[in-house]
Amino acid sequence: MAYTSVIDVLLLLIRDNQVLLALRSGTGFADGWWNVPSGKPEEGEDAAAAMIREAREEIGLLLDRDSLALASTMHYRNEREIGRLGLFFQAWRWDGEPVNAEPHKCAQIAWFPLDALPDRTYPYTRIGIELYRTGQNFAANGWER
């Protein structure tokens, strides 16, 4: 049987050596943990289009394809044993200033130094940021169970 995996798009918004994180709240999954703006492609959407849409929906930013670069990829298996393929995009430029555009899913957004993330940064997010910070482009995590 062919393997399938959930695809996640995750935004690395970096400014002055800091990354923008969002504190999850009211979602029923990973609430109380910091994460980068992220989501999944919808039907008929490619990964870049999904990242552009998610940035607009979650933090009110306008991105275009030319502003995005694939920074790293992670094949992650979470604590529920579900495999996910995470595409971490870096935005080189954007229009607007980030705002918490989904307060029903996010308690707050804040900038953190790349090398000093909050203790409760979701592990998937932490690994993706560390890949970016160290110039690596791929990791597999959670498969050794």
Buried b or exposed e, range 19-48, using 16+ CB within 10 angstroms: bbbbbbbeeeebeebbbbbbbebeeeeebb
Through-space distance between the first and last CA atoms of the chain, rounded to whole angstroms? 21
Decide if 32 is inside a domain: yes
DSSP string for residues in 11-80: EE-EETTEEEEEEE-SSSSSTT-EE-SEE-PPTT--HHHHHHHHHHHHH--B--GGGEEEEEEEEEE-TT
- In percent, how much of the chain has pLDDT > 70? 99
Question: For residue 131, what is the domain's CATH number?
Answer: 3.90.79.10
Query: Do residues 101 and 57 touch, judged by C-beta distance below 8 A?
Result: yes
Q: What is the mean pLDDT of the chain?
A: 95
61 burial level (CB within 10 Å; 0-12, 13-18, 19+): buried
Give the pLDDT score at 38.
97
Q: What is the mean pLDDT of residues 72-79?
A: 90
Among 22-31, 77-86, 106-115, the range scoring the smallest mean pLDDT is 77-86
pLDDT exceeds cutoff 90 at 86:
yes
112-130: per-residue pLDDT in tens?
999 999 999 999 899 999 9
pTM for this model (two decimals): 0.94
Query: Do residues 11 and 55 touch, judged by C-beta distance below 8 A?
Result: yes
Decide if 23 is inside a domain: yes
Decide if 137 is inside a domain: yes
Name the domain count of the chain.
1
Residue 110's domain comprises 6-141
Alpha carbons 69 and 74: distance in angstroms, whole number:
15
Selected residue with higher pLDDT from 111 and 145: 111
Q: In which band, very low, low, confident or very high, does the pLDDT at 145 lie, cut at 50, 70 and 90?
A: low
Decide if 1 is inside a domain: no
Give the pLDDT score at 80.
81
Decide if 106 is inside a domain: yes
19-60: per-residue pLDDT in tens?
999 999 999 888 999 999 999 999 999 999 999 999 999 999
